[in-house]
């Protein structure tokens, strides 16, 4: 394949530079000793130390982590089921509905998802006295949009998975369920784990939907950060933001590494089997 | 023998797989829109929850239907909503076009890179998208505020004598949307450009096409599905964007997502906020349908 012209490559490099410049500047400023954000006052990690004493921030971070783990775990289960249904069963009642419902959250503006879900929760409490706004409602909302991401990721992997392996297992006497669990599940496992990590980062980052459904008592980390950021740039937010960006970045690189390693191993197995 | 409908439904293994996600998403994603529609027909009230019941029993034992389209009529009579809607559309449209102008060459360059480099380049493009949207918008504020990185750098270089006023203007909102959604544009474009059959270009060159001609006649038309998918992925969330106009925009950058937020959190007018959401949804159904159409087509091919 011919390489792209130099001009086009330049746009690529400039585009990547633009994507990363603000994040790098942010991390740089977070080590600024001066409380005045525009003047460099020497290197310091003082702002990171201050974060540990902010109890509001710490309890919000804890809530966000709990929500993230719960929501990603539920979403991975529902999303894998949805992907299996869409890839393996060509015709069933509700197929179109399911396809629509796993794709729509990906493009739905968050303010709309947020307000409609809140109205549902308020009406449900009115009727069944459940769910009370807080942890439960935030988890349910996050599961909704995370399920969409899991379905898309796992669906892609399932479509490329070799069905003949599963058929071979069934020829050897395995039930369809057992063949799926023992043959196909290990193949799609990297996709499942990496989509768990993606969900975790999405959940940890969600501001708009959480703000609607959280109710007055609960605040997630993004909600606390938003309240601080609204007041302008400040050095301790720079430190917090740098920490989160780096942690999430590692999550994503980990997810990606799992996917690539899974793919390589599969390619190797295929080659060994063929050889 | 009981009639068929009286027998317990046979739950085969299939339905154990299909039903959980179907039921969950139906209850928590689809049905909420029905509730939002219902509440958009009600009026505000000073109790919890802050809206009137649609059906009430009058003292003389008559059912009273309290539904009205007043909230929708209000959306059309008060200028704020129309202005915000048009402003959102315009901002999203221009941001999408600029994303396309930057994103197309980026996707093209990645599609033409060696296979081994493609994975790394895609990861590099997607990494910012996955790492905190809110914090990236905040990071951009560090760059463009009056005494931020950009102005400091330009002043030092002597290119400007006064700091540029970018924060709290429409320009800041454009920059925010382009910066945040650029990866959304690159990914689908790359997917279509990568699948493009290179022999078509070779054939065009053999037949005497210049590279420019071959690009315009072959690459560009064949990449249209990617252009549409990428544009939808940027345009639709950008129209409803809340965080960017709220953090980077000024008082006059009224985007519809922000209006809805204020209606809900500042004015506590749930019925009008619901009406805004439903009206907004109706104006979005068209684009989503087009996007779905192309999405399905791409999947099939």
Interatomic CA distance for residues A212 and A109, integer angstroms:
13
ipTM, two decimals: 0.89
pLDDT of residue B79: 86
User: B226, B193 in Cβ contact below 8 A?
Assistant: yes
- What residues make up the domain containing A133? 54-274
Rg over alpha carbons for chain A, rounded to the nearest Å, is 23
**A274 lies within 8 A of chain B by CB:** no
Tens of pLDDT, residues B238-274 = 988 999 999 999 888 889 899 999 989 988 889 999 9
Across chain A, which has 275 residues, the per-10-residue mean pLDDT values are: 78 91 90 79 87 88 95 96 91 88 84 93 89 94 94 88 86 88 88 89 92 91 91 84 88 84 80 76
Q: Note whether residue A108 is domain-resident.
A: yes
**A126 lies within 8 A of chain B by CB:** yes
* Total domains in the fold of chain A: 1
pLDDT of residue B291: 65
**A26 lies within 8 A of chain B by CB:** yes
Looking up tokens 């942010």, which residue turns up? A26
pLDDT of residue A262: 79
Q: Which of A10, A15, A178, A240 to mutate to test the interface with B (most CBs of B within 10 A)?
A: A15
Nearest CA in chain B to A115: B274
Domain ranges of chain B: 72-300
| Multiple choice CATH, B72-300, 2.60.40.10, 1.10.760.10, 1.10.3720.10, 3.90.950.20 | 1.10.3720.10
Contact A111 B183 (CB under 8 A): no
Contact B135 A89 (CB under 8 A): no
Q: Which two tokens stand for residue B189?
A: 């474009």
Contact B112 A3 (CB under 8 A): yes
Interatomic CA distance for residues A11 and A21, integer angstroms:
15
pLDDT of residue A224: 92
Interatomic CA distance for residues B139 and B132, integer angstroms:
10
pLDDT of residue B292: 65
pLDDT of residue B177: 94
Q: Which two tokens stand for residue A229?
A: 């950021």
Q: Note whether residue A248 is domain-resident.
A: yes
User: B260, B277 in Cβ contact below 8 A?
Assistant: yes
How many C-alpha atoms does A8 have within 13 Å on its Cβ side?
Answer: 17
The parts of chain B modelled with pLDDT lower than 50 are 1
Q: Tell me the nearest-neighbour CA distance from A258 into chain B, angstroms.
A: 13
pLDDT of residue B96: 96
User: A27, A186 in Cβ contact below 8 A?
Assistant: no
The CATH number for A76's domain is 1.10.3720.10
Contact A89 B18 (CB under 8 A): yes
Q: Note whether residue A204 is domain-resident.
A: yes
Contact A38 B148 (CB under 8 A): yes
Q: What is the 8-class DSSP label of residue A69? A: H
Q: Which two tokens stand for residue B243?
A: 């965080």
Q: Note whether residue A81 is domain-resident.
A: yes
**A66 lies within 8 A of chain B by CB:** no
Interatomic CA distance for residues A97 and B175, integer angstroms:
37
Angle at alpha carbon of residue A204, lines to A52 and B138, rounded to 5°: 75
Comparing CB atoms, the residue among A78, A176, A177 nearest residue B21 is: A78
pLDDT of residue B24: 96
Comparing CB atoms, the residue among B102, B109, B233 nearest residue A107 is: B233
pLDDT of residue B68: 84
């Amino acid at each position: 394949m011919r390489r792209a012209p130099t001009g086009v490559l330049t746009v690529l490099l400039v585009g990547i530079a633009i994507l990363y410049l603000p994040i790098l500047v942010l991390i740089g400023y977070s080590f600024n000793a001066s409380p005045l954000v525009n003047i460099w006052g020497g290197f310091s990690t003082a702002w990171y130390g201050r974060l540990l004493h902010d109890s509001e921030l710490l309890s919000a971070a804890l809530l966000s982590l709990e929500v993230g783990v719960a929501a990603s775990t539920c979403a991975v289960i529902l999303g894998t089921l949805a992907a299996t249904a869409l890839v393996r069963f060509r015709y069933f009642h509700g197929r179109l509905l399911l396809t629509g419902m796993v794709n729509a959250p990906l493009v739905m503006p968050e303010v709309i998802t947020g307000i409609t879900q809140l109205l549902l929760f308020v009406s449900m409490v009115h009727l069944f006295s459940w769910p009370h706004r807080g942890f439960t409602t935030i988890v349910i909302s996050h599961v909704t949009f995370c399920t969409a991401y899991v379905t898309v990721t796992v669906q892609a992997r399932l479509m490329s998975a070799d069905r003949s392996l599963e058929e071979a297992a069934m020829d050897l006497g395995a039930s369809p369920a057992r063949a799926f669990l023992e043959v196909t599940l290990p193949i799609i496992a990297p996709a499942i784990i990496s989509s768990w990590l993606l969900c975790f980062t999405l959940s940890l980052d969600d501001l708009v939907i959480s703000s609607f459904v959280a109710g007055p008592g609960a605040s997630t980390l993004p909600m606390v950060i938003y309240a601080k950021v609204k007041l302008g740039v400040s050095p301790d937010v720079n430190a917090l933001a740098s920490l989160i960006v780096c942690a999430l970045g590692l999550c994503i690189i980990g997810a990606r590494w799992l996917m690539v390693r899974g793919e390589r191993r599969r390619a190797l197995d295929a080659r060994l089997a063929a050889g | 023998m009981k009639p068929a409908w009286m027998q317990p439904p046979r739950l085969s293994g299939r339905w154990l797989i299909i039903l959980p996600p179907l039921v969950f998403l139906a209850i928590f994603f689809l049905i909420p829109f029905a509730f939002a529609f219902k509440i958009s027909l009600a009026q505000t009230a000073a109790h919890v929850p802050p809206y009137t019941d649609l059906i009430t029993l009058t003292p003389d034992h008559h059912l009273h239907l309290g539904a009205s389209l007043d909230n929708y009529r209000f959306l059309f009579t008060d200028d704020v909503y129309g202005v915000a809607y048009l402003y959102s559309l315009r901002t999203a449209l221009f941001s999408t076009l600029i994303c396309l102008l930057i994103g197309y060459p980026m996707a093209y360059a990645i599609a033409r890179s060696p296979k081994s480099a493609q994975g790394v380049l895609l990861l590099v493009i997607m990494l910012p998208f996955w790492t905190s949207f809110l914090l990236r918008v905040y990071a951009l504020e560090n760059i463009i505020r009056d005494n931020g990185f950009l102005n400091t750098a330009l002043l030092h270089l002597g290119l400007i004598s006064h700091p540029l006023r970018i924060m709290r203007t429409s320009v800041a909102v454009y920059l925010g949307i382009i910066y945040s959604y650029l990866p959304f544009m690159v990914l689908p474009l790359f997917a279509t450009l990568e699948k493009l059959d290179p022999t078509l270009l070779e054939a065009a060159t053999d037949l005497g096409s210049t590279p420019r001609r071959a690009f315009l006649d072959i690459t560009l038309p064949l990449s249209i599905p990617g252009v549409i998918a990428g544009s939808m992925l940027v345009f639709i969330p950008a129209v409803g964007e809340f965080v960017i106009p709220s953090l980077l925009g000024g008082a006059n950058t009224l985007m519809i997502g922000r209006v809805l937020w204020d209606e809900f959190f500042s004015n506590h007018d749930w019925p009008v906020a619901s009406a805004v959401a439903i009206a907004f949804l109706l104006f979005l159904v068209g684009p989503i349908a087009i996007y779905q159409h192309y999405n399905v087509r791409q999947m099939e091919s």
